[in-house]
Amino acid sequence: MCLLLPVLHWAQAQIYVESQFVHHLQSVNFNTGTQGFGAEYRYSVADNVNLRAGFNILPVQANNVFQLSGLHSTSNVQARFTNVHILADYTPFEGFSFLRLVGGAAYFTQAKGHMAIQPTDTYKYGDITLDKEQVGTLDMDINWQGVAPYLGLGLFHAFPRRTFNVNVDLGTYYLTQPKAQIVGTGILAGNSSQSATFQKNITNYRWYPQLQLNFNFKL
Percent of the chain with pLDDT over 90: 66
Q: What is the pLDDT of residue 19?
A: 43
> 179 or 125: whose pLDDT is higher?
179
Task: Look at the alpha carbons of 159, 164, 165, 170 in this order and tell me if their dihedral is positive or negative.
Answer: positive
Q: How confident is the model at residue 2 (pLDDT cuts 50, 70, 90)?
A: very low
| Range of weakest confidence among 27-36, 66-75, 201-210 | 66-75
Name the β-bridge partners of 99.
155
pTM of the model: 0.83
How many CA atoms, within 13 angstroms, populate the side-chain half-sphere of residue 41?
Answer: 4
Contact status, residue 45 vs residue 32, Cβ threshold 8 Å:
no
Confidence of residue 211 (pLDDT cuts 50, 70, 90): very high
Contacts of 118 (CB under 8 A, 6+ apart): 73, 74, 75, 132, 137
Q: How many domains does the chain have?
A: 1
Give ∠ CA 144-151-207 in degrees, rounded to 5.
35
Cα distances (Å, whole numbers) of residue 140 to 26, 61, 98, 112, 113: 44, 15, 43, 11, 8
Range of the domain at 99: 4-218
Residue 21 is part of a domain; what is its CATH number?
2.40.160.170
